[in-house]
Structure 1
Amino acid sequence: MATPSKTVLDTDSAGENSLSFESALSELEAIVAAMEAGQMSLQEALDAYKRGSDLLRQCQATLSTAEQQIRILDGDRLRDFDAPQEVPSGNRDIDGKQES
């Protein structure tokens, strides 16, 4: 069965932080796929779950750091995608151009 490779489960916590976000996410996706296949022994599943939890924490920390950096660069002007956009005063056409 498709169990995660030995390197996936045997990577220690010290090596965890050396993974790029993309590598950590890819490994996490492989672990999830292997666990969803349901062919692991109980011990393999527990080891995979622990490794997946570690990788998830690393990915979340990386994303949080990136968000903080973006906030600094963007002057803390971030808003939710669903948040209503401020509409400037004045009449605007469909392209946002000021009407005469």
Structure 2
Amino acid sequence: MPAKPATSQPETFEAAIAELERIVAAMEAGDLSLEASLQNYQRGIALLRQCRGTLEAAEQRIQILENGELTDAPAGLDKE
């Protein structure tokens, strides 16, 4: 049986995407129990939210750069 999904947040966007890809592959294989599938689904949703937040922050920063108003990076991008 596969290990339980991690519960801490990955430090980078790329790490979160890689974990999401592993979760999708495991779920698509169809070898997980119902409980493991639910745990992986829950973890996937958390990772998806984290990725969306990172992308939204990056988009805001790009808009600031395009407007020529860059001062400091918005909160949340300092981890990357």
Higher helix share: 2
Query: What's the secondary structure of 1:65's corresponding residue?
Result: helix
Displacement of 1:75: 1.1
Greater Cα radius of gyration, structure 1 or 2: 1
Note the residue ranges of structure 1 that are not aligned, 5 or more in a row: 77-100
By relative contact order (CA 8 Å, sep 6+), the higher-ranking structure is 2
Note the residue ranges of structure 2 that are not aligned, 5 or more in a row: 69-80
Q: Which residue of 1 aligns with 2:39?
A: 47
Aligned Cα RMSD in Å?
1.8
Distance in 1 (CA, whole Å) between partners of 2:20 and 2:53 is 14
Q: Which residue of 1 aligns with 2:26?
A: 34
Q: Which residue of 2 aligns with 1:62?
A: 54
Q: Deviations over 1:21-50 (max 9, x none)?
A: 000000000000100011100000000000
Query: What's the secondary structure of 2:40's corresponding residue?
Result: helix
TM-score, structure 1 normalization? 0.62
Displacement of 1:19: 2.0
| AA of the residue aligned to 2:60 | Q
| AA of the residue aligned to 1:43 | E
- Alignment identity in percent? 50
Residue number among 63, 74, 93 corresponding to 2:66 in the alignment: 74
Distance in 2 (CA, whole Å) between partners of 1:38 and 1:49 is 13
